[in-house]
Amino acid sequence: MWQPKITAPILTQRIPTPPYGKMQDRHVVSYDEYIKTGGYIGLRKALSMKPDDVTEEVKKSQLRGRGGAGFPTGLKWTFLPKVEEGKDPGMRYLAINADESEPGTFKDRLLMDFDPHLMLEGIAIACYACRLKKAYIFIRGEYHHQAKVLENAIKEAYENGIFGGKGLLDGASNFVVDCYVHRGAGAYICGEETALLEGLEGKRGWPRIKPPFPALKGLFGKPTIINNVETLAHLPSIIENGWEWFSKQGCNSTIGGPPSWGTKLMGMSGHVNQPGCYEFDLGIPLRTFVEQYCGGMRNGKKFKGAIPGGVSMGILGTDQYEAELDFDIGRKHNVLGLGTACPTVFDEDTDMVAVARNIARFFKHESCGQCTPCREGSGWLYQLLGRIEEGDAKTKDLDLALEIATSMGSMPGTTICGLADGNNWAVRTIMNKFRPEFEARVRPTFVPVRVTVGAGAKG
């Protein structure tokens, strides 16, 4: 049975207990408060190490990206061009993905709302380890309050010698880092890393063809690392306490894959009594999350299904209530992956046909239109699901919808980015796991006609 291992919160230690909905309850941790509670100790320790040793510590920690893909952070850092000791690496960038546009996801917002210096310390550590001279925080266009909080926190960091000036920690290292906030324009597609880079350069947010990959040719054509807000927020504690300490949280893989070490912010929404953002060890079963921490299903109704981490991940069926929220969830429960680990739970009265249609509407609206299969396919899929919902479709339309879904995406090799894959997985997992609901809304394609021969007929 899953048991929580953390004795104290790691990412949310300065954040009020859930729920976090009221504006008057917000208290942003200032630089002075952050220092009093152990802030920037991790950065100070990192500066006493060689940059490559910091990278190796992160690599050993098996810290996996918290933005959705779950790619090992330290391994990503090693893709940068090698720099000889004592030589200037030239201009290299860190792009922080604070776009957080995945429906149902609100965990990065919490860190920016209350504890921005935790992320800023992580930014400084990452820049030192990878020899990155400038950091750009690409923040979601709708996050007006959070952008102001970050601007104020960055100003405090400059005033106290974290960024700019003589170097990190006001001369503890002569490596100078500058940090800026860049406001997005509300485009979901800019959560894709290369579309984010296009947005930072002032262009239309269209994903780029890869290769070249950002680590070799990224922002302004220079080597670039792209990390998520929550990923960077883990770095101070990993460097301060060591990778062995980090490995004691979370869980190991049960199917022979990489471990799911560490804690995770999980934003719960949907038909539960106590929605909110929680911090758990990776591996917590969905049932435990809902019933022990969220007060159970709302109005005492039964569990029907759940999106495990953003709509693009697909859906867990009624018989998958025990699914563990770790990075193995995709292979074990036929979803795309853990994603942002922010579940949306549905009760027994939910119309899954309407859910599929609404998700398809979202992806149709957010497709950038660059790739024909995504631009046209998402529209066709939305139209088909609309007809099914209205009862104006035939049985063959169910197979047609699945055919369209599985024919578009970067994994079939028909699109540049994974937006179509998100549409694909969402629709087909809902249709496959709740097939009877869809079949009940359609008419038979062929209706057999019985011909009766009259008594006086000849032949």
Residue with token string 């919808």: 401
**What's the mean pLDDT in 1-19?**
74
CB 322 within 8 A of CB 286: yes
Note the pLDDT tens digit of each residue in 135-157. Answer: 999 999 999 999 999 999 999 99
Please check whether residue 390 is in contact with residue 443, taking contact to mean a CB–CB distance below 8 angstroms: no
Per-residue pLDDT band for 91 (boundaries 50, 70, 90) equals very high
**Kind and range of the H or E element at 51?**
helix 51-61
Question: In this predicted model, what pLDDT tens digit does every residue of 31-80 receive, in sequence order?
Answer: 999 999 999 999 999 999 999 999 999 999 999 999 988 899 999 999 99
Confidence of residue 3 (pLDDT cuts 50, 70, 90): confident
What is the pLDDT at residue 207?
94
- The pLDDT of residue 453: 60
- CA of residue 107 relative to chain centroid, distance: 9
- Residue 371 CA to residue 352 CA, distance in Å, equals 28
Q: What is the pLDDT of residues 100-121, one digit of tens each?
A: 999 999 999 999 999 999 999 9
pLDDT per residue over 217-237, tens digit each?
999 999 999 999 999 999 999
Report pLDDT for 26.
Answer: 63
Query: Mean pLDDT throughout 403-429?
Result: 91
pLDDT value of position 269:
94
- Chain Cα centroid distance, residue 405: 22
How far is 369 from 49, CA to CA, in rounded Å? 46
Per-residue model confidence (pLDDT) at position 339:
92
Tally the residues of the chain.
459
Is it the case that residue 23 has pLDDT exceeding 50?
A: no
Higher pLDDT, 459 or 367: 367
pLDDT of res. 458 = 47
For residue 1, what pLDDT band results from cuts at 50, 70 and 90? low
Res 14: pLDDT: 82
Predicted confidence (pLDDT) at residue 16 exceeds the cutoff of 60: yes
Q: Are 449 and 375 a contacting pair, CB within 8 Å?
A: no
Q: Tens digits of per-residue pLDDT, 158-210? A: 999 999 988 788 777 888 999 999 999 889 999 999 999 999 999 998 999 99
User: Is the link from the previous residue into 212 a cis peptide, with omega within 30 of 0?
Assistant: yes
Say what the pLDDT of residue 21 is.
45
Q: What is the pLDDT of residue 450?
A: 62
pLDDT at site 69: 86
Identify residue 17 by its one-letter amino acid code.
Answer: T
Instruction: Give the pLDDT mean for 282-310.
Output: 95
pLDDT, tens digit, for every residue of 327-356?
999 999 999 999 999 999 999 999 999 999
Domains of the chain: 28-82+89-248 (3.40.50.11540), 260-347 (3.10.20.600), 352-443 (1.20.1440.230)
CA distance 33 to 112: 15
Mapped onto helix, strand or coil, the DSSP state of residue 303 is: strand
Model confidence at 84, pLDDT cuts 50, 70, 90, reads confident
- When pLDDT is averaged across residues 425-433 and rounded to a whole number, the result is 94
pLDDT at residue number 412: 85
Specify the pTM: 0.91
H helical segments located in 62-115: 73-77, 108-114
- Position 452 scores a pLDDT of 61
Of the candidates 280, 286, 273, which has an alpha carbon nearest to the alpha carbon of residue 315?
286
Does residue 406 surpass a pLDDT of 60? yes
Question: How far apart, in whole angstroms, are the C-alpha atoms of residue 367 and residue 375?
Answer: 6
Count of Cβ atoms closer than 10 Å to residue 198 Cβ: 19
The mean pLDDT value of the chain amounts to 90
Query: What's the pLDDT band for 88 if we cut at 50, 70, 90?
Result: confident
- The predicted pLDDT at position 17 comes to 63
* pLDDT tens for each residue of 367-396: 999 999 999 999 999 999 999 999 898 999
